[in-house]
Amino acid sequence: MNLSSVRIITADIKRLIHFYEQVTGAQLTRYTDDFAELRTPQAALAIGSTNTLALFGGNEIAKAAANQSVIIEFRVDDVDSRYEDLADFIGENIVQKPTTMPWGNRSLLFRDPDGNLVNFFTPVAAEAKKRFE
């Protein structure tokens, strides 16, 4: 089994697409007005509007901007450099400036416009780097 994607449901898909294009530097593929994806070699970040909930059984199955338990993580080449580039754009949504974690990753934690936690990290310890070889 392979993890294929994580999908964010949002009431403002254009705003969220713009945000993720800015922080990742990549263009998301817009398949419809209600669905877009950022593909990486390992998995994808999908963004769906609340309109897509009808296809899964109705609006009650998910609630936009209500995540309290998931962190969306991106491995980046240099988290400190990314922080310098994005600090003004992320602004008050920064939760934690780059910090080296006990498991060997250097992490920047911030929130997207819907309040979802996003972690940009760079493995810095030898053991952490080994996990991603």
Which pTM does this prediction carry? Answer: 0.94
**Confidence at 89, pLDDT banded by 50, 70, 90:** very high
- 1-57 and 65-133, same CATH topology: yes
Q: Which helix (H) or strand (E) holds 10?
A: strand 5-10
What superfamily would CATH give domain 1-57? 2,3-Dihydroxybiphenyl 1,2-Dioxygenase, domain 1 (3.10.180.10)
Looking at the domain that runs over 65-133, which CATH code has it been given? Answer: 3.10.180.10
Which residue ranges make up each domain of the chain?
Answer: 1-57, 65-133
Task: Please tell me the predicted confidence (pLDDT) of residue 105.
Answer: 98
- The CA–CA distances, whole Å, from 3 to 6, 47, 79, 102 equal 8, 16, 24, 25
Task: Please tell me the predicted confidence (pLDDT) of residue 24.
Answer: 97
How confident is the model over 33-67, as pLDDT tens digits?
999 999 999 999 999 999 999 999 998 899 999 99
The alpha helices in the chain, defined as continuous H runs, are 13-24, 79-90, 126-131
Task: Please tell me the predicted confidence (pLDDT) of residue 131.
Answer: 94
